[in-house]
Amino acid sequence: MADTGIFCTTAEVQYKAGANASATSKAEAYTNNFVTQAESVINAYTRYNWSDAYAALNVDVKGILKEAASNLAAIYVINYDMSGFTSREEAEDMIVILSDGFTRCIKILKDLKTQDFVNGA
């Protein structure tokens, strides 16, 4: 099976989910599903279809999309099964850190679309 996401890879999600994340939820079949969901959420939050425009984007914007998608997908991986973590607090701390990163990226992406709108007016 190959990565099916546009914004990030299975490996990038696995790095962020951590060594103690469930082997099942870190498997490519699961992460492909989580990445697809994350990409759709990003497009909906920002009210722009980054997936369709991806090929024409510059490397900086692609990096922000990669961070946002891998953060959200890693949250899904961790949330799927927290039993491998040394404590529930460890898993929750990771989720909070990833969530903060995801939120920061969404704000940047929304601002990019605002800037495009203003520049095009």
At 64-95, the pLDDT tens digits run 999 999 999 999 999 999 999 999 999 999 99
> What are the tokens at 119?
């520049």
% of the chain exceeding 70 in pLDDT = 93
The domains of the chain are located at: 10-113
Q: 5 falls in which pLDDT band (50, 70, 90)?
A: very high
- Residue whose tokens read 């929750």: 92
Which is more confident, 1 or 91?
A: 91
Count of Cβ atoms closer than 10 Å to residue 84 Cβ: 17
Task: State how far the Cα of 110 lies from the Cα of 48, in Å rounded to an integer.
Answer: 9
Q: 60 falls in which pLDDT band (50, 70, 90)?
A: confident
Task: State how far the Cα of 112 lies from the Cα of 46, in Å rounded to an integer.
Answer: 9
Residue 12 has what pLDDT?
97
